[in-house]
Amino acid sequence: MEEEESIRVVHCGGSELNFRRAVFSADSKYIFCVSGDFVKVYSTTTEECVHILQGHTDLVTGIQLNPSNHLQLYSCSFDGTVKLWDYLDGILIKTFLVGPKLYALFTHHSAEDSVFVTINKEEPETVINGFLWADVFQLVSVKLPKSPSQEI
């Protein structure tokens, strides 16, 4: 007879994981989870939280690895900022002030100096094919300028 393994709960709490999907590091040694207005960095080896990336002032709505440096992570938030993190050390590298609430974040390896975010155009309610649409979202490319400044 085979013995069943029990499930071990390492940590409980935070916001719903289904709000934003978790992201693995390029080497799969870490997993990043959105939790309210911060991002938790977990070790996949030890199952422990190794860093909490704090700095946003509102709900974090997107996370992606930096396509040009897989030791860095981008996050975006309803606070209108995109933040670049060194997730191994848990350090905020740079804050990009975008402005409107950011609903999602996407990166692509061929656009190394840009990220793509989803914003709400906040247009008045419109009727399309008999349905009332209150939210109109737009995908926007955001150029990330090179600067020694911490906040851009």
Confidence of residue 18 (pLDDT cuts 50, 70, 90): very low
How far apart CA 21 and CA 64 sit, in angstroms, is: 10
Counting residues of the chain whose pLDDT is more than 70, the rounded percentage is 78
Domains of the chain listed by start with CATH number: 23-143 (2.130.10.10)
* pLDDT 10s digits, 55-69: 999 999 999 999 999
Q: What global pTM score does this model have?
A: 0.79
* pLDDT 10s digits, 38-94: 999 999 999 999 999 999 999 999 999 999 999 999 999 999 999 999 999 999 999
